[in-house]
Copies of this chain bind each other. A is one copy, B any other.
């Protein structure tokens, strides 16, 4: 079988007996040629099985690809499984969707982010980076390419648009509420401070050198209020790891009366850990989360947590991305408010 070479603009052009430019115009600038000719071109094209300009060639010529890239510090699949992240992406997607751009999710991980080669190859006109460590190679790669960038949460980079939240203040608020209820012995469960897969207790030194700004701030916020207290780091923000971490913290004696978690996912695990030990929330142990993901209010008991406007965060990032695409300047960082949502997982210690 003689492989039937795919028709191109040229093929169609010579079939119709016009120039390539004219065929191009038939697709891109209908007003540049007579309706009759255009009709004829389109008909012949259809007949030949030509589906219109090749997207890659077009992108090469126009130098843009109508796509928004997205890079994150975890596995690609986290985009769909982490509740907080997926709400952010929901917001981002709805913005991008409305403007008919594709959303390009980049794979891979190298010290907390896609590999630089991946970034160098990704077909996108702008990228949004989600909570990458300050030193992620992916960041350098994106900059080097000169890709406009919007950064969610971190890091702070010159010439990038930014959307962020007051993690420090939120954490402080949460810890303060607990202290005012009378709690004095705390345990803190956090997700990764460093992209090294470590799980376990956290030293002050490890905390201070952490490249994940968000984690660092939430932790600092907690500790600023409650003083030096045991901290357990989980490699990822997952229920399972939170459960294990909380169990470790709860095995200390005297036992902490309150658990401060860096995310709702971890808090859900902590809730489970308390039950595992035959204890009750909040009678024996108070648990507080961070994010206010949709599941927080349906947890058992409903989770007290620090709310950040996740959908809005994604939406804003999307708007900024589109603006950069149009040649706009990054402008001042967008700072979204946080607030404490009191539910039933917290109470005064007995």
A-side residues, CB < 8 A to B, are 6, 49, 51-60, 63, 65-67, 75-77, 79-81, 86-87, 89-91, 93-94, 96-108, 115, 118, 120-123, 141, 144-146, 295
**Contact between chains at A81 and B90 (CB < 8 Å):** yes
A306 to B76, CA, bound (A): 28
**Contact between chains at B107 and A104 (CB < 8 Å):** no
**Contact between chains at B97 and A90 (CB < 8 Å):** no
A89 to B78, CA, bound (A): 10
A77 to B146, CA, bound (A): 28
**Contact between chains at B103 and A90 (CB < 8 Å):** no
Closest residue of chain B to A6 (Cβ to Cβ) is: B146
Min CB distance, A48 to chain B, in Å?
A: 11
Give the contacting residue for A90; candidates B54, B77, B96; CB below 8 A. B77
A49 to B77, CA, bound (A): 33
A49 to B75, CA, bound (A): 29
**Contact between chains at B107 and A102 (CB < 8 Å):** yes
Min CB distance, A136 to chain B, in Å?
A: 16
Give the contacting residue for A100; candidates B89, B102, B105, B107; CB below 8 A. B107
**Contact between chains at B80 and A102 (CB < 8 Å):** no
Q: List 9 A-B contacts (CB under 8 A).
A: A55-B121, A59-B123, A60-B60, A65-B123, A80-B87, A81-B86, A101-B107, A102-B105, A103-B107
Set of chain B residues within 8 Å of A146, measured between Cβ atoms: 6, 51
- List 9 extra interface pairs beyond A49-B144, A81-B86, A102-B123, CB under 8 A: A51-B120, A56-B59, A60-B60, A77-B91, A79-B80, A80-B89, A97-B108, A99-B107, A103-B107
Give the contacting residue for A75; candidates B94, B99, B102, B107; CB below 8 A. B94
